[in-house]
Amino acid sequence: MSTRTLVVAGHGMTGHRLVEEILTHDRHGHWRVVVLAEEPRPAYDRVALSTLLDGATPGTLTLPTRQVPDDRRPHLRLNAPLTGADPAARTVTCADGATFGYDALVLATGSRPFVPPVPGHDLPGCFVYRTVEDIAAIRAAAAPGRDAVVVGGGLLGLEAAGGLRLLGMRPHVVEHGPWLMSRQIDEGGGRVLARAVDRLGVGVHCATKLRALTAGPAGHVERAELSDGRVLDAALVVFAAGVRPRDELAAPLGLDRGERGGFLVDRWCRTGDEHIWAIGECAAVEGRCHGLAAPGFRMAETVARQLLGDSGEAFTGADASATLKLLGVEVAGFGDAHAHTPGAIEYVHDAPHTDTYAKVVLAADGRTLLGGVLAGDTTAYPLLRTLTGRHLTASPDTLLTTSAHGA
Ligand SMILES: Cc1cc2nc3c(=O)[nH]c(=O)nc-3n(C[C@H](O)[C@H](O)[C@H](O)COP(=O)(O)OP(=O)(O)OC[C@H]3O[C@@H](n4cnc5c(N)ncnc54)[C@H](O)[C@@H]3O)c2cc1C
């Protein structure tokens, strides 16, 4: 088999995983790998980004790369976003003008933070939370002792609030949902979380929206006006209000987008062009984008197997559970945490005196674990996560007591 060229657009978490899979399994060197990366550094552990505010340095986040002979090493081009393409000729062009031909092109361009277009969103002192450079800019702008506003009370927003605390600021979280992390956890878990976050000195403002940001005399952001009329001091603002898939290459490549954005792909991550795949947060698998690392890794593995001549397994989803980091508050939501499955039964152990809350969700058969929520103590989380989807031998009561008091 002659050598073919794989071009990977994006060296983030899933682009990196794809390259590692190819290097590991392409023992005969059938693929020459070219990686075109927008960021100025090789792939790093974005999930651990906030540790940069807790003593880590960018170098410690770099994802490990498999050692291979020189002639098999991928050609990694940094600061070189892919900006143009000629799918008929199977070539792509980088911002620096370099052009590469490909036999296979894998798009792994991730997402961009969503910034609500409220007045003042682009004032000096407003930031997003996605890259090493974003964190460095926030650190440089931090004003210890002053108030900061985080827009978005999901996982990322709370993580950002934790980061701002470490920088000595007093963060306020503004969340339009009825409680914090309302996508991952239910109202009971949200209550425990709100109490814990409040004790840490983080202001919580739920069921309201950011209406406008206004500047002080120096032109720097100074106040945040909320839709319920409240006004918060804001020496710094971080937007953590969701992400949007980076699918701007769909037009030059002649690819379809999902209804809510993202490169539209099937369960094998194939686009409508037989030479192009999309993986990670930029991929709308059967129309749906996945905003976590684990699903992106599964997609990377699916595509790697196809490139290596094995039809492999289709992507059928992946662990979408999430735990809160950095704030020192333990919460976890996994599986069908909101009991959306028809006939699902919820068993709850709510113990306000110990500030713990545990819920397990069982299928209508009363035996299959579908998901759950843990707040205050998440020791049982790894065990429950592995039991999800399985028939339980223990009673829900035993499970709840175990969850509430640790595994
Ligand atoms: C602070 C933080 C905490 C997180 N915590 C968790 C967590 O606890 N658990 C979890 O599962 N997930 C978490 N995530 C989400 C996780 O990081 C993402 O799901 C994961 O990084 C997605 O991988 P990706 O490769 O699709 O995108 P990315 O890692 O964003 O990589 C995409 C790369 O493509 C580059 N790119 C974009 N356009 C182009 C182009 N045209 N040409 C070349 N390169 C391009 C981008 O610059 C970027 O480097 C967190 C994210 C953040 C920011």
What three-state secondary structure class fits 326? Answer: coil
- Across the range 363-369, mean pLDDT stands at 92
Q: Are strands 243-245 and 111-113 parallel, antiparallel or unpaired?
A: antiparallel
pLDDT of residue 401: 72
pLDDT of residue 406: 54
CATH architecture of 330-404: 2-Layer Sandwich (3.30)
pLDDT of residue 358: 92
User: What would the pLDDT profile of 244-302 be if each residue is shown by its tens digit?
Assistant: 999 999 999 999 999 999 999 999 999 999 999 999 999 999 999 999 999 999 999 99
Percentage of the chain lying above the pLDDT 70 cut: 97
User: What would the pLDDT profile of 104-135 be if each residue is shown by its tens digit?
Assistant: 999 999 999 999 999 999 999 999 999 999 99
- Of ligand 1's listed atoms, the one at least distance from the Cα of 160 is 1
Cα distance between residue 15 and residue 90, in whole Å: 19
Enumerate the domain spans of the chain: 4-112+243-307, 126-239, 330-404
Give yes or no for residue 13 CB within 6 A of ligand 1. Answer: yes
Cα distance between residue 285 and residue 280, in whole Å: 9
Give yes or no for residue 244 CB within 6 A of ligand 1. Answer: no
Mean pLDDT score of the chain, rounded to an integer? 93
pLDDT of residue 386: 87
Q: How far is the CA of 260 from the centre of ligand 1 (A)?
A: 18
CATH architecture of 4-112+243-307: 3-Layer(bba) Sandwich (3.50)
Q: What is the CA radius of gyration of the chain?
A: 23
pLDDT of residue 380: 86
pLDDT of residue 2: 81
Give yes or no for residue 194 CB within 6 A of ligand 1. Answer: no
Does residue 320 surpass a pLDDT of 80? no
126-239 has which fold? FAD/NAD(P)-binding domain (3.50.50)
Give yes or no for residue 36 CB within 6 A of ligand 1. Answer: yes
Confidence grade of residue 1 (pLDDT, cut at 50, 70, 90): low
pLDDT of residue 216: 94
Distances (CA, A) of 248 to 109, 122, 256, 282, 317: 9, 22, 11, 10, 24
User: What would the pLDDT profile of 49-106 be if each residue is shown by its tens digit?
Assistant: 999 998 899 999 999 998 888 888 899 999 999 999 999 999 999 999 999 999 999 9
Q: How far is the CA of 132 from the centre of ligand 1 (A)?
A: 11
Which of 130, 281, 289 to probe ligand 1 with, by most ligand atoms within 8 A of CB? 281
pTM for this model (two decimals): 0.93
Topology alike, domains 126-239 and 330-404:
no
pLDDT of residue 400: 76
pLDDT of residue 28: 83
Confidence grade of residue 220 (pLDDT, cut at 50, 70, 90): very high
Residue nearest (by alpha carbon) to ligand 1 atom 20: 293
